[in-house]
Chains A and B, each alone.
Chain A
Amino acid sequence: MRRRSRTAALVTAAALALPLLHACSNSSGDDTGGKVTLEYWLWDDKQQPAYQACADEFTKANPNITVKISQTAWAQYWQNLTTQLASGSAPDVWTDHASYYPQFVSSNQILDIQPFVDKDKVDLSQYQAGLADLFVKDGKRYGLPKDWDTMALVYNTKFVPDATGLDKLTWNPADGGTFEQAIAKATVDANGKNGLDPAFDKTKVKVYGFLPEWADGSQGQNGWGDLAVSNGFTYLDKNPWGTKYKYDDPKLAETIAWFKHLIDAGYAPKFDKQSTLGRDAVMDAGQAAFTIVGSWTISSYLGTGAKQQYAFAPLPTGPAGRKTAINGLSDAIYAGTKHPEQAWAWVKFLGSAACQDIVGDKAVVFPALKSGADKALAAHKAAGRDVHVFTDEAAAPGGTFFLPITDHGNEISQIVQDSLQGVVLGSAQPADALKKANDQVNALFK
């Protein structure tokens, strides 16, 4: 009896395991009959429906190629991809991000598509200016742009009822300009006094005027980076592929010192009192008035069912003008793909109006192609969402800057983030801490 139950268990085990052994081990493509299945990876589930629609269109036009889309949440996406690459095979095409892509380039994991671009005469000028060049290194091209994002101020209209002048805010690190005035005015303590009132009690703040982001790596895309650049700061000697960072620039230290001043004045939360659930949670809870966000958050701030009423305003104009980070994703082809021609056909399709217009219509991101971005803007407008500040900023001459793309991106990110968190916790002075961080960063390139 006992013996039989054990045998039964083993038989069951074998029965379960064996028939599935070769069930779908050929998922990355089989050439039988000229039919090819491409694997395509992305991380954002909100974009998956749009790209599935693209894949369906693509297969309609190319009946021999099917695209299988896999989505993995951000935190696991990169480990999953890296493990696949390290074991010698990977998806044919994947969505690539600037902080990982230099590593993949230097280890020869991404296919150079310049020959294809030349052969098919792809018009690179149709993309948002400068985006296509981010994916070029030493004359080789490692991706076509798929979308872009810019930054803007978002505010809760309950705490900032009067929008007058919000489109012309000024800022400087010395007195904070009209931006600091607006922040102070929107800060409210437990007695209902705002930050401009002499009786304002900074130990009992109910609504913070501004929410800074301190888990923002080496770039400060969601705040300090944009303001520092508008103060005349440049991250590094050349971008992309620079080798000498300039975090010791006093213009950056001044900017960080101004943020520290906001905290000390009670207009922004202390680092060790700031929510770890993310800024949108605090905004939604009605505990903060302003923060700086990217265009990818439009749907969470202006989506249906939001408890607070929000509106967007352009970033303030600094001593060097109004500057927003612009960043874009790309689609990369695996260097070891068995189907480079088909993978290129898919990437070309992803970068074409046929697909980017579909993506634009869904209004989740701004597609890299101008026509697609216009579609997205129109879709937002049709849904009653006023998001023109993002596209205006992207169109303003000299109004955008690219985030650094270099080797060691993730390490630099950790070094600078640690350094800045140390500063806002009060354990170091901005200039000293940034000097030290900059030395560490530049040592990585030696």
Chain B
Amino acid sequence: MTRRFSPGKVLAWLVLAAFLALTIAPFYWMIRTAITPVADIYTDSTAIVPSHPTMINFWRVLGLVDPQTAREAGGSGAQINFLRYTLNSIIYCALIAGVQTFCCAMAGYAFARLRFPGRDLVFGIIVAALMVPPIFTLLPNFTLVKTIGAMDTFLGMVAPNLLMTPFAVFFLRQFFLSIPREVEEAAIIDGAGKWGVFWRVIVPMSRGPLITIALTTSVWAWKDFLWPLLVGRGEQTRVLTVALGVFLQQSPNTQPDWTGLMAASTLSVLPVLALLIFLGKRLVQSLNFTGIK
């Protein structure tokens, strides 16, 4: 809809711009630290632009400098196979996001639209699982994965979140609730079964929420740290966040490798940012396509 120029709208834009600026500012600081040479990080800590900007921290994250140079630049000299771990992270995220979204969509549909005894009870129990602290599930899940010999495999890494998270079920069910029923009824009158309604009506109409939850799941998986650290220590399964542990605090009373950590974190954000922009575009297109807007 086109709207004419109004003071209210200008104000709204200003507020939005202020939000954006506040969001970006700390992020700028991350990049600023990443391009600071390690010798300057404390003496030069309040300058907006570092006095001696450098790319060395990025190069050492990417493993492009020899261990000696990396150590001099404040790092451990540990070699990081950045591309390999990025690929592992992508596999990890894609598996979880793909399978989980599909399974949870089916369940969300069942909870939103199908009638069966115990529906609200089962749904309530699943929502209640949101409240279960991960500390409960960590140990038994780890023991299980170990028992079935899935340590250091993608199967073991993705297992706990592959089929569902309570959040995804809850989220999709809430969205399916708000789909107008008439659309569905038309399909039923046309003789579609429950699967047909789900697959040909609900899924296409919910592309927005489905992409949103897939994206959400991907980002959580991308940032996941503790579980992959416990289960996927091997080279073939080590994901980016785990590999970036070499930039963290190594011993008590020592400092993390600040500049390396910030460079690594900046780089680790880029792939998800690309995904976000790509899927974001798709999101807009699909919404226009289905004509919901």
A contacts B: CB pair < 8 Å:
yes
Q: Write the residues of chain A forming the contact surface with B, with a CB cutoff of 8 angstroms.
A: 2, 6, 9-10, 13, 16-18, 20-25, 27, 43-46, 48-49, 70-76, 79-80, 83, 86-89, 213, 222, 277-278, 280-282, 284-286, 294, 296-297, 300, 304-307
In contact, B43 and A307 (Cβ under 8 angstroms): yes
Contacts of A23 in B (CB 8 A): 152-153, 234, 236
A-B contact pairs, 17 of them (CB 8 A): A9-B98, A17-B154, A21-B155, A23-B234, A43-B250, A73-B245, A73-B250, A76-B226, A76-B248, A83-B138, A87-B146, A281-B255, A285-B42, A286-B43, A300-B255, A305-B39, A306-B39
In contact, B45 and A46 (Cβ under 8 angstroms): no
Contacts of B95 in A (CB 8 A): 13, 16-17
Known contacts A23-B236, A27-B234, A17 near B255 by CB under 8 Å: no
In contact, A278 and B255 (Cβ under 8 angstroms): yes
Known contacts A74-B251, A76-B226, A24 near B72 by CB under 8 Å: no
Contacts of B74 in A (CB 8 A): 305
- When C-beta atoms are compared, the residue in chain B nearest to A25 turns out to be B149
Interface size counted on chain B using CB atoms at 8 A: 47
Contacts of A73 in B (CB 8 A): 245-246, 248-250
In contact, B250 and A46 (Cβ under 8 angstroms): yes
Contacts of A294 in B (CB 8 A): 253
Q: Write the residues of chain B forming the contact surface with A, with a CB cutoff of 8 angstroms.
A: 38-40, 42-43, 45, 72, 74, 76-78, 91, 95, 98-99, 102, 138-139, 142-143, 146, 149-155, 158, 199, 226, 229-230, 233-234, 236-237, 245-246, 248-255
> How near does chain B come to A184, taking the closest CB pair, in angstroms?
24
> How near does chain B come to A281, taking the closest CB pair, in angstroms?
5
Whole-angstrom distance between the alpha carbons of A17 and B155 in the complex?
5
Whole-angstrom distance between the alpha carbons of A77 and B102 in the complex?
36
Whole-angstrom distance between the alpha carbons of A87 and B150 in the complex?
14
In contact, A297 and B254 (Cβ under 8 angstroms): yes
Not counting A16-B95, A74-B250, a sample of 16 additional A-B residue pairs whose C-beta atoms are within 8 angstroms of each other reads A9-B98, A13-B95, A17-B158, A23-B236, A27-B151, A49-B77, A74-B248, A83-B139, A86-B139, A86-B143, A87-B139, A88-B143, A213-B253, A284-B42, A296-B254, A307-B40
In contact, A307 and B253 (Cβ under 8 angstroms): no
In contact, A74 and B252 (Cβ under 8 angstroms): yes
In contact, A307 and B39 (Cβ under 8 angstroms): yes
- When C-beta atoms are compared, the residue in chain A nearest to B200 turns out to be A2
Whole-angstrom distance between the alpha carbons of A115 and B261 in the complex?
45
In contact, A278 and B253 (Cβ under 8 angstroms): yes
Known contacts A278-B253, A284-B43, A70 near B233 by CB under 8 Å: yes
Whole-angstrom distance between the alpha carbons of A76 and B229 in the complex?
9
> How near does chain A come to B13, taking the closest CB pair, in angstroms?
37
